[in-house]
Amino acid sequence: MDHIWAPWRMDFILGDKPSGCILCMRPLENDDRANLILFRSQLNFIILNKYPYNPGHIMVAPYRHIPDLADMTPEEMVEHFELVRKITIVLRQAFSPAAFNIGLNIGKVAGAGIGDHIHSHIVPRWSGDTNFMPVVADTRVLPESLLSTYDKLKDLVGRACCP
């Protein structure tokens, strides 16, 4: 039997879970790299997903703690989806994905890990990126560390979002 090590999973499984909303707390801290925040706009920010489905799994979130699209102002919504559009351009430049899954899980029952702070997920996809590992071993194989992905995307995101 072959073994594939995913030691970062144990940090998540056994680690202390933060109280409060991480999408509210992370932007208040002064270390964007440690918090994986790629870009701060006026009403929304772009952050790498700490537990990605694929390399380059990004989230766009408003700063305001709101649970639903109906709670977004028109200005928040326009900026939010403009950032989603721009991040797909950046991800195409950086990783050449074949496609994207882009979506919102609104509410805990819909699968949202953060059920009371709306955010969009942008997941790059490649042909054959789904395999047996998640099914039989509850493990996803990611070929690049989060900080390597962050460093690869940081300048590209800044140039795309602040021309």
In a domain, 33, yes or no: yes
pLDDT for residue 13: 64
In a domain, 67, yes or no: yes
Residue 136 belongs to a domain with what CATH number?
Answer: 3.30.428.10
In a domain, 3, yes or no: no
Q: How many domains does the chain have?
A: 1
In a domain, 48, yes or no: yes
Is 55 exposed, middle or buried (CB count within 10 Å of its CB: 0-12, 13-18, 19+)? buried
In a domain, 152, yes or no: yes
In a domain, 11, yes or no: no
Residue of 57, 80, 119, 121 with catalytic role? 119
Known active-site residue 117 = no
In a domain, 12, yes or no: no
Domain that holds residue 63: 17-161
pLDDT (tens digit per residue) in 82-95: 999 999 999 999 99
Beta bridge partners of 46: 39, 60
Regions in the chain scoring below 70 on pLDDT: 1-13, 17-18, 111-112, 129-144, 163
